[in-house]
């Protein structure tokens, strides 16, 4: 199994980094080939512009999707994006490790999606959802929250966590054809003691050791 882990957190001593490290370790132990992108360490620029491309379709007006299609045809993506796209295309399972910020992805990870999920290369030409280019591949969100679990229930003050994650599950991952796995969520690790955090890491490691036995979840349309 080939696994691609995309990770972002600005603090290398964070619990998110511990989750990232646990994922790498656990998957490697069971024989998976693991590739990673530590976006903060890479200094990944989340802002799309002409620097996405080595080619130019229209020098007078930048329409990103048009340039993405042209770059797909002309092998014209920048070296940074090409490397990320190749890791994405090669994986059987993709994991995103991140803190939930403002009910969504942190800017660096969202910008990674904006730049790497390029039209022509990762979707388009009728290839979306059930006919997506990445059908048969799986994706898993591993995330932390600031609040407790009861805040993310249907009647909690933040609302259902699955509803919060649906724009990512449906609008990004399933859109490209990925099968979505149940998210790995650690609620409020900053409020846990060391033993509780250790237990969460152990739970994640044990899950990943048997991840090939899991089935995807139903997300559904809006």
What's the pLDDT score for residue 222?
A: 43
> Do residues 39 and 112 make contact, with C-beta atoms less than 8 angstroms apart?
yes
Strand, helix or coil for residue 198: helix
Go through 49-84 and write b for each residue having 16 or more CB atoms within 10 A of its CB, e for each that does not: eeebbebebeeeeeebeebbbbbbeeebbbebbbeb
pLDDT digits (tens, 9 = 90+) for 102-147: 999 999 999 999 999 999 999 999 999 999 999 999 999 999 999 9
In the chain, % of residues over pLDDT 70: 99
What is 2-47+77-213's CATH number, 3.40.640.10, 3.40.50.1220, 3.40.50.280, 3.40.50.360? 3.40.50.360
- Taking residues 135-161, report their average pLDDT: 94
Is pTM beyond 0.85 here?
yes
- Taking residues 145-152, report their average pLDDT: 92
pLDDT digits (tens, 9 = 90+) for 198-220: 999 999 999 999 999 999 998 86
pLDDT digits (tens, 9 = 90+) for 17-49: 999 999 999 999 999 999 999 999 999 999 999
């Amino acid at each position: 199994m080939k696994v691609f882990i995309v990770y972002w957190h600005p603090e290398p001593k964070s619990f998110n980094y511990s989750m990232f490290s646990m994922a790498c370790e656990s998957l490697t132990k069971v024989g998976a080939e693991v590739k990673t992108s530590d976006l903060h360490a890479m200094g990944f620029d989340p802002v799309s512009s002409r620097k996405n491309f080595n080619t130019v379709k229209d020098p007078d007006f930048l329409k990103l999707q048009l340039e993405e299609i042209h770059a797909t045809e002309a092998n014209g993506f920048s070296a940074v994006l090409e490397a990320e796209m190749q890791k994405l295309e090669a994986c059987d399972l993709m994991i995103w490790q991140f803190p939930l910020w403002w009910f969504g992805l942190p800017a660096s990870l969202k910008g990674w999606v904006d730049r790497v999920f390029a039209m022509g290369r990762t979707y388009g030409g009728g290839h979306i959802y059930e006919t997506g280019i990445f059908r048969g591949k799986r994706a898993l969100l591993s995330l932390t929250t600031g609040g407790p679990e009861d805040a993310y229930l249907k009647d909690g003050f933040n609302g259902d966590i699955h509803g919060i994650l649906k724009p990512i599950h449906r609008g990004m991952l399933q859109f490209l054809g990925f099968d979505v796995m149940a998210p790995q969520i650690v609620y409020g690790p900053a409020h846990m003691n060391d033993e509780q955090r250790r237990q969460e890491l152990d739970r994640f490691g044990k899950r990943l050791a048997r991840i090939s036995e899991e089935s995807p979840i139903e997300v559904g349309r809006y």
